């Protein structure tokens, strides 16, 4: 008798899965970064009208894991849909273009929305200045961006989807943050379980006595 389960790829479901959400204004290169990371291709004019989801197996510090990337369209019309996206994410790449001051200003709104939904100041989060290949058109200085990142207690990285500069770095750095956070949460949960179990044993012992 054949079993459906036997035909499943071994280990596929047991791999750690890290859920990344791309946020930022339209036109800053969120999709270009995602597609460059996924397929090693630079797609200049791709602007999704709705959120796209991607999944890829990668090796993170010697461990095979899966990354799930949700590339938001940048102009979600309904706050409820946007909030659902944010709720599902474990880490966020907040992208602006170094050539567009308005997109940098908008990162504060995205950060605020994420913190409101997640109710967590320490959510894994990277501030990303994209289009570093267009240095001659720069409107946002490195110092300005780093100051904002320091205020938020997050890291700042500049990328170029065109030249692939730091593209892998931002995704892998964020996955490391997500992994560390999961380990912290797991320890906390185990600590609570142990404390509960200890309290239960003490109560039982008291009853026996």
- The structure tokens listed for 102 are 């308005």
d(CA 89, CA 124): 10
Structure-token match 């309290």, residue found: 199
Structure-token match 């995704």, residue found: 171
d(CA 192, CA 205): 20
CATH of the domain spanning 10-183, picked from 3.40.190.10, 3.40.50.720, 2.30.110.10, 3.40.50.300? 3.40.50.300
pTM: 0.84
* Torsion, Cα of 112, 29, 172, 186 (10° steps): 30
d(CA 98, CA 135): 8
* pLDDT tens digits in sequence order for the chain, 209 residues long: 444 444 444 455 689 999 999 999 999 999 999 999 999 999 987 777 788 999 999 999 999 999 999 999 855 566 888 899 999 999 999 999 999 999 999 999 999 999 999 999 999 999 999 999 999 999 999 999 999 999 999 999 999 999 999 999 999 999 999 999 999 988 887 766 666 666 666 666 665 55
User: What is the radius of gyration, based on Cα positions, of the chain?
Assistant: 21
């Amino acid at each position: 008798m054949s079993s459906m389960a036997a035909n499943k790829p071994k280990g596929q479901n047991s791999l750690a899965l890290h859920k990344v959400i791309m946020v930022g204004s339209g036109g800053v290169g969120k999709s270009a970064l995602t597609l460059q990371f996924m397929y090693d291709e630079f797609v200049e004019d791709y602007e999704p009208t709705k959120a796209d989801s991607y999944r890829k197996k990668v090796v993170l510090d010697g461990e095979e894991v899966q990354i799930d990337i949700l590339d938001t369209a940048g102009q979600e019309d309904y706050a409820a849909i946007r909030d659902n996206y944010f709720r599902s994410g474990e880490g966020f790449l907040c992208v602006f273009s170094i050539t567009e001051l308005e997109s940098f200003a908008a990162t504060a709104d995205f950060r605020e929305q994420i913190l409101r939904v997640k109710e967590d100041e320490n959510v894994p989060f990277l501030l990303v200045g994209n289009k570093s290949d267009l240095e001659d058109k720069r409107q946002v200085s490195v110092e300005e961006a780093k100051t904002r990142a320091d205020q938020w207690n997050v890291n700042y990285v500049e990328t170029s989807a065109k030249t692939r500069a730091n593209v892998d770095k931002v995704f892998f750095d964020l996955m490391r943050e997500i992994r560390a956070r999961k380990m912290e949460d797991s320890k906390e949960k185990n600590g609570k379980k142990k404390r509960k179990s200890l309290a239960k044993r003490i109560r039982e012992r008291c009853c026996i006595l």
